[in-house]
């Protein structure tokens, strides 16, 4: 009789397991059938956005000095002006757009490299470095919200006016674009 109870419990467990699996399959099937999909107007807008993105070429929707860099896309505090003290860190936030994507096995990838030049007003290059920062990502969707935060510290700059030229290279599409931010090192008082 004890043996019969064990068989009965095993049988009941198997039936419960099978019922649970069947219920899960039915639930998954129902869930798949009830997923809301975007409207045709929304899908058409995404297609138009994709075409505009590709046609635009590499550019920047934002490029500015910030108080402390950026923490995420759209999460930055602009610097009140472009006046800094001699040893201040210069933080820049930029939002590149129009960069290219490669696609392999359903995965989209991008890669941008940043270079800079520090120039005085007479055009003399005081510092420069190619490919000092890399911004890359990959996923099943095209990542179009890229927050590029850069920090610079130039020690020993005398008081005066300068320009920070930043250039981004799109490694997937061969595009290049940049921006120039003028700034002043204040006279220490």
Question: What residue segments make up the domains of the chain, in order of their start?
Answer: 57-185
What is the mean predicted confidence (pLDDT) over 98-127? 96
Q: Is 3 exposed, middle or buried (0-12, 13-18, 19+ CB in 10 A)?
A: exposed
pLDDT digit string (tens) for 176-187?
999 999 999 999
Residue appearing with tokens 């003399």: 124
- Residue 76 CA, chain-centre distance (Å), reads 14
For 131, residues 6+ apart whose C-beta sits below 8 A from its C-beta are: 113, 114, 115, 169
pLDDT band at 69 (very low <50, low <70, confident <90, very high): confident
Question: Which CATH code, of 2.60.40.2550, 3.20.20.60, 2.60.40.1120, 2.40.50.140, is assigned to 57-185?
Answer: 2.60.40.2550
Return d(Cα 50, Cα 103) in angstroms, integer.
14
The yes-or-no verdict on residue 141 having pLDDT over 80 is: yes
């Amino acid at each position: 009789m004890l043996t019969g109870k064990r068989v009965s419990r095993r049988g009941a467990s198997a039936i419960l397991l099978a019922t649970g699996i069947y219920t899960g399959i039915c639930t998954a099937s129902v869930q798949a059938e009830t997923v809301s999909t975007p409207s045709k107007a929304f899908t058409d807008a995404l297609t138009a956005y994709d075409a505009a993105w590709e046609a635009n070429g590499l550019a920047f929707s934002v490029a500015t000095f910030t108080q402390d860099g950026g923490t995420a896309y759209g999460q930055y505090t602009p610097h009140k002006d472009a006046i800094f003290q001699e040893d201040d860190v210069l933080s820049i936030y930029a939002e590149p757009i129009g960069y290219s994507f490669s696609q392999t096995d359903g995965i989209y990838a991008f890669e941008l490299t940043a270079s800079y030049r520090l120039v005085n007003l007479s055009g003399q290059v005081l510092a420069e470095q190619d490919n000092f920062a890399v911004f890359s990502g990959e996923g099943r969707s095209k990542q179009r919200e890229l927050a590029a935060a850069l920090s610079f510290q130039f020690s020993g700059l005398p008081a005066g006016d300068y320009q920070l030229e930043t250039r981004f290279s799109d490694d997937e599409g061969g595009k290049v674009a940049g921006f120039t931010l003028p700034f002043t090192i204040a006279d220490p008082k």
